Amino acid sequence: MAYSDKVVDHYEHPRNVGTLPKDDPNVGTGLVGAPECGDVMRLQMKINPETQVIEEAKFKTFGCGSAIASSSLATEWVKGKTVAEALAISNTDIVRELSLPPVKIHCSVLAEDAIKAAIEDWKKKKEVSEPAANATAGN
Amino acid sequence: MDFSLSRPKPHRLKPVLLASLLESDFMSAPTTTAATSATCANCSAPTGGAHFCPSCGKIQPLPRGTDFFSFFGLPQKLTVDLEQLEQRFHSLSWKLHPDHFARASDDERQLSLDRSSLLNDAYRTLRDPVARVEYLLGLAGMRKEGQKKQQAPPELLEEVFELNESLDELREARASGGTAAAMAGLRAKLEAAQHKFEASLAAVDQELARVSAEWDAALDSGADETASRKLMEKMNEVLNRRSYIRNLVNGVRQELAES
């Protein structure tokens, strides 16, 4: 099976590889895995609490080319988006963009899960750091 | 496919052929899931799902739902007598070999190809204890990729990620070069990591063997579906953990081979 040009491009020149400070209250970290193939993916984003805009996104993935490409693409896509817009990204968008074959669909699912997990983590942190503000917003 | 690979060695050829002609236990009476109501297209005798018609000896089409276990006339158990499996493999690869069907009808030649190719896949899968479990779970629809998601416990992910990162650091340090002393230190670290990962792999393999034995015992005692399901989930979880550890083992092995 041959990888598509886009996968190869992301694999050879991955965007936004790296680490953001995990303990920063504005950073959400999503760590997910695909046990079938033993891949692990970590996606982090720094989110502006005022505007809810994702200002920075980094990833680190140990896995196959498709997993790396999917997470690399995910970081590109979420940057500059709001949290709500990022949550709307679906794995099928990634499949389409990277022309992933059926056996690699789980890599795109992983990337979608990582986005959601990172945002979830960020939201949890916010609840802890601003319980009052959150309670008001929730009412 | 190279059929010559699956041919029995010349010195074994005669006894194998004789044995398979004399005792046709597994050839004519598979005990498992393959359709047993089939009849021979040539002589209309019931075939019982056998490879060859017990009455006229014609090669039979593969019954719907033939799985690797039933192909070998085995129950869906995880303990397999490897010697017996190999014997059956050699005997069947001889009997099903397309060379024997050179002058047979197109249909029969095709059937021999189909069965030979299934034979090779089935043998390769069943002789490996891990592939065997994966296959069994696959039959139950438990190893699907993509839509039906596998979950990994968060602690395991953390650990695997950290191990991968340290492996990465070692890799980078090696790539950027260093003094002989630094490289020796690096190698020692890699070897320690290898030791650790290989031990984890051995432990997870032991666990898989233990749950496999439990599965066989449950099958023998006619356990209910809930109990079997539970064991399958357990095996699935062990297999998932195993994929992570196997990747780490491969990674560190490769590093050591290159350093």
B52/B33 Cα distance (integer angstroms):
17
Q: Assess contact for A110 and A31: CB atoms under 8 A.
A: no
Structural domains in chain A, CATH included, are: 5-127 (3.90.1010.10)
A9/A97 Cα distance (integer angstroms):
12
CA angle B59, B60, B62 (to 5 degrees): 135
Nearest by CB to B164, which of A34, A40, A113?
A40
Asked if B145 and A60 come within 8 Å (Cβ–Cβ), the reply is: no
B148 min Cα distance to partner chain A (Å): 9
Asked if B154 and A31 come within 8 Å (Cβ–Cβ), the reply is: yes
Q: Which residues contact B47 (CB under 8 A, 6 or more apart)?
A: B38, B39, B40, B53, B54, B60
Q: Is residue A1 within 8 angstroms of chain B, CB to CB?
A: no
**A130 confidence band (pLDDT: 50, 70, 90):** low
Asked if A33 and B146 come within 8 Å (Cβ–Cβ), the reply is: no
**B116 confidence band (pLDDT: 50, 70, 90):** very high
CA distances from B203 to A134, B156, B207, B241 (A): 46, 15, 6, 11
Length of chain A: 139
Provide the pLDDT for residue B92.
93
pLDDT digits (tens, 9 = 90+) for B180-193: 777 788 788 888 88
B201 φ/ψ angles, rounded to the nearest 5 degrees: -65, -45
Chain B hits for A37, Cβ within 8 Å: 243
pLDDT digits (tens, 9 = 90+) for B40-54: 888 888 888 889 888
Q: Is the pLDDT of residue B72 over 80?
A: yes
Asked if A38 and B158 come within 8 Å (Cβ–Cβ), the reply is: no
pLDDT digits (tens, 9 = 90+) for A13-71: 899 999 999 999 999 999 998 777 778 999 999 999 999 999 999 999 998 889 999 99
Collect all residues from B whose CB is shorter than 8 A from any CB in A. 143, 145-147, 149-152, 154, 156-158, 160-161, 164-165, 168, 239-241, 243-247
**Mean pLDDT across chain A:** 89
What whole-number percentage of chain B has pLDDT above 70? Answer: 82
B218 min Cα distance to partner chain A (Å): 26
**A81 confidence band (pLDDT: 50, 70, 90):** very high
3-class DSSP assignment, residue A4: coil
Closest CA to A76 of A45, A31, A116, A39: A45
Q: Give the residue on A whose Cα is nearest the Cα of B150.
A: A35
Provide the pLDDT for residue A133.
52
- Pairing between strand A27-34 and A39-47? antiparallel
